[in-house]
Structure 1
Amino acid sequence: MPAPYRAPATLLWRGALAFHTLTPIRFVNTSTLSIAYYDSAPRDSAAPVAILVHGFPYSIDTYVDVVPKLSAKGYRLIVPYLRGHGTTSFLSPSTPRSAEQAALGKDIVDLMDALSTDKAIFAGFDWGSVAVNVAAALGPDRCTGMVAANSCLIQNRQTAWATAPSPSLATRWFLYVLLTPQAYSALAMELDAAVPAFRYPDYVDIATNFYKNRLLYAPGDPAYAELAGDLDLLPVIRVPSVTLDPDQAPVFPATNGSSTAQHFSGPRVHHIVQGCGENIPLQSPQVFAEAVLEVAALGRRHN
């Protein structure tokens, strides 16, 4: 394996709080987006690649402690801002500001194409889990392994309003609040006091569209209609997978993985992450880094 490339990090001070960020930020264009991303190695690096995808309402800096752990093992880490987040922007004002699952997954593959990256490990949590689930399911030839919190979050839209137990509905109150115009307005007003990752023109549209689309309150972008139809069939994930359930995340209670087993046909290992909420990379960076290494080893054993 090539010698590890040690990338720079920036230490910022906000009052009494010191925190690291992933810098420098690079940019690359796809057919739809100018994607802002962090890259731990030069573009011509021969190192194996892992793409780390953040969730909502987070930024790429959730991976600031994961990157050096994997870089030290010889990996090149590509950490993109999701559409609508950070300095990732749309190339055209006429492109629908859709955060549907098909778009999030396609963005990962489009990023790889733009960077001339043939294959990579896909790893994510929250919205990032949705993105890597979709990319791995629809593009298994590009994915050498997948790490995902909460296993599989690909949605069949026909089940969007299926009856759910009351405790489940109670923990997902924010999904329904974000359907309202009041939530849109409140979120927009609060952004002036928020961190920089949220201070961008499309953030509110993307943040609310994700939930509206999943609950059928907003149509998808016609450009992704075929992919969206494929996802309604709940394609299985055939690549080697390591799935993680945090035991302190109220929206998705931790399980032993059996309830989602039907979504996987490739080799899979499932772990419960003790004492951790949904943001596993930030709260348990060692666990997340080890999951990436584990899925790489899982792939080697089954090739």
Structure 2
Amino acid sequence: MDTDTASGLAIERTDLGDLDVAWLTDPAADASAPLALLLHGFPDAAPTWRHLIPDLTAAGFRPVAPWLRGYAPTSVPADGLYQVGALARDASRLHEALGADDRAVIVGHDWGAMATYAAVGWEPDRWRRAVTMAVPPAGAMFGGFTSYDQLRRSWYMFFFQSPLAEGVVAGDDLAFIDRLWADWSPGHDAGDDLPAVKDALRDPANLAAALGYYRATLGDGPTSPDLDAPQAGWMTPTPVATLYLHGATDGCLGAELVTGAEAQLPAPGSRAQVLDGVGHFLHVEAPELVNPLVTAFLTEETPA
């Protein structure tokens, strides 16, 4: 076990055979408590869950925040697969490897939200409840991409299909990432967040992996039909009780995309909420607002 000196949290590792996964946790957490799996997005890394992890421990969970496949210090997968189904399968394999049961909960932000929808849609019996942030369910999101305003915000997705992307994003110590955070979370001082994010992406292999998520989804990145089943869960209404949170000033995905989200969250107890005064990285912008909402929802009893 290593210690993340910036947060006092522990870094542990799990070998999934074809993927060596590093994850952040609270040394004070009870290893027999229900698993709370926390999945980050782009451009992000496990340490941005540092505010939520202690609160989940206090609420009676065992929080585990992995660096997603390809994000250092997790390994770059030899198969080069980054489709949403691969992320969902990783979540399920971590659930199994960590000895979790049906009390487990899952929280995802950005790409982690997409992985969460896919994981709970594919194997709902593994997860009691879910929280997603900043990316609504697919059925609510796709309609927004017919609007000029959202396409303008999403220009980077299309730029990432270009072979120029790696060089541009890597330039000037990943200054591109500084600008994305500034655009997506207006007014937020990300000085405590960006060092860990850049560490996860600074190696060219890790940066290529992160861009591979977009290429597998929108371009010609490699995909595998073996992952079609877990991927299908992303496209269907979410079958477990889910809380969806979105920042009102999100500069990546406009809050208007939340319209219709609840229709894609049919499980009893589900709900969607727009939070005033915060942007895309709401879990680090306003933990005093987000953390109580998350812990209260995850500890609720699910209606019969």
Does the pair score TM above 0.5? yes
Aligned to 1:100: 83
Structure 1 residues 176 and 294, CA gap change in structure 2 (3 angstroms): same
Paired with 2:145 and 2:247, the residues of 1 have a C-alpha distance of 24
Aligned to 1:53: 39
Asked if the contact 1:246/1:274 (under 8 Å) is kept, the reply is yes
Aligned to 2:146: 164
Asked if the contact 1:144/1:239 (under 8 Å) is kept, the reply is yes
What does residue range 197-216 of structure 1 map to in structure 2 within 5 Å? 197-200=200-203, 202-216=205-219
Which of 272, 286, 293 is 2:288 aligned to? 286
Paired with 2:292 and 2:273, the residues of 1 have a C-alpha distance of 11
What is the one-letter code of the residue matched to 2:218? L
Asked if the contact 1:242/1:294 (under 8 Å) is kept, the reply is no
Cα displacement (A) at 1:86: 2.1
Structure 1 residues 244 and 258, CA gap change in structure 2 (3 angstroms): same
Structure 1 residues 22 and 165, CA gap change in structure 2 (3 angstroms): farther
Cα displacement (A) at 1:113: 1.1
Aligned to 2:156: 174
Paired with 1:247 and 1:163, the residues of 2 have a C-alpha distance of 18
Structure 1 residues 73 and 44, CA gap change in structure 2 (3 angstroms): closer
Cα displacement (A) at 1:294: 2.7
What is the one-letter code of the residue matched to 2:81? S
Indicate the SS of the match to 1:202.
helix
Structure 1 residues 57 and 284, CA gap change in structure 2 (3 angstroms): same
Cα displacement (A) at 1:78: 0.6
Paired with 1:250 and 1:86, the residues of 2 have a C-alpha distance of 26
What does residue range 114-193 of structure 1 map to in structure 2 within 5 Å? 114-119=97-102, 120-150=104-134, 152-154=136-138, 164-189=146-171
Paired with 2:48 and 2:134, the residues of 1 have a C-alpha distance of 17
Aligned to 2:21: 35
Cα displacement (A) at 1:69: 1.9
Aligned to 2:184: none
| TM score, norm. by length of structure 2 | 0.81
Aligned to 1:271: 273
Asked if the contact 1:54/1:60 (under 8 Å) is kept, the reply is yes
Unmatched 5+ stretches in structure 1: 1-7, 12-19
Cα displacement (A) at 1:154: 3.9
What does residue range 215-230 of structure 1 map to in structure 2 within 5 Å? 215-228=218-231, 230=232
Aligned to 1:15: none
Cα displacement (A) at 1:44: 6.9
Paired with 1:265 and 1:153, the residues of 2 have a C-alpha distance of 11
Structure 1 residues 287 and 31, CA gap change in structure 2 (3 angstroms): farther
Paired with 2:233 and 2:246, the residues of 1 have a C-alpha distance of 23
Paired with 2:127 and 2:236, the residues of 1 have a C-alpha distance of 15
Paired with 2:226 and 2:167, the residues of 1 have a C-alpha distance of 28
Paired with 2:157 and 2:278, the residues of 1 have a C-alpha distance of 22
| TM score, norm. by length of structure 1 | 0.81
Cα displacement (A) at 1:129: 0.7
Query: Cα deviations across residues 160-187 of structure 1 (Å, max 9, x unaligned)?
Result: 9x97111111111101111111112323
RMSD: 2.9
Asked if the contact 2:20/2:74 (under 8 Å) is kept, the reply is yes
What does residue range 236-247 of structure 1 map to in structure 2 within 5 Å? 236-247=237-248
Cα displacement (A) at 1:22: 5.6
Paired with 2:4 and 2:21, the residues of 1 have a C-alpha distance of 20
Indicate the SS of the match to 1:50.
strand
Query: Cα deviations across residues 38-94 of structure 1 (Å, max 9, x unaligned)?
Result: 122589722222111111111111111111222222221111100111211146x4x
Indicate the SS of the match to 1:271.
strand
Indicate the SS of the match to 1:27.
strand
Structure 1 residues 132 and 301, CA gap change in structure 2 (3 angstroms): closer
Identity of aligned residues (%): 23
Bigger proportion of residues as strand:
1
Paired with 1:163 and 1:271, the residues of 2 have a C-alpha distance of 21
Paired with 2:8 and 2:121, the residues of 1 have a C-alpha distance of 29
Paired with 1:191 and 1:105, the residues of 2 have a C-alpha distance of 31
What is the one-letter code of the residue matched to 1:207? A
User: Which shifted more, 217-226 or 114-123?
Assistant: 217-226
